[in-house]
Amino acid sequence: MSRTAVIARIATPFRAVHWYLKEIMGENAYLHYIESYQRRHGTREGALCEREFWRDLTDEQDRNPKVRCC
């Protein structure tokens, strides 16, 4: 087995854990928003930029607080 194959095999579980942690922490929320927007509208044109998305999300959470840790 080549060195790159061994490294790829070792890295796979770490990538899975990294993805899982990002999902739990909500770090992938913008990515999910863009994917959803593109499915609904057929384009990314008109979608919020990342900065606007996070500002809108935090403003909404401030207006309508729900049970959460922070």
At position 50, the amino acid (one-letter code) is: E
Q: According to the model, what pLDDT value does residue 70 have? A: 58
Residues 6+ apart with CB under 8 A from 65: none
Domains in the chain, number: 1
Domain contains 13: yes
Residue 34 lies in a domain: yes
What is the model's pLDDT at position 69?
65
pLDDT of residue 43: 94
Alpha carbon distance 70, 68 (integer Å): 6
* 68 within domain boundaries: no
Check residue 68 and give its pLDDT: 64
Domain range for 40 = 3-63
Residues (pLDDT < 70) of the chain are 68-70
Residue at 28 is within a domain: yes
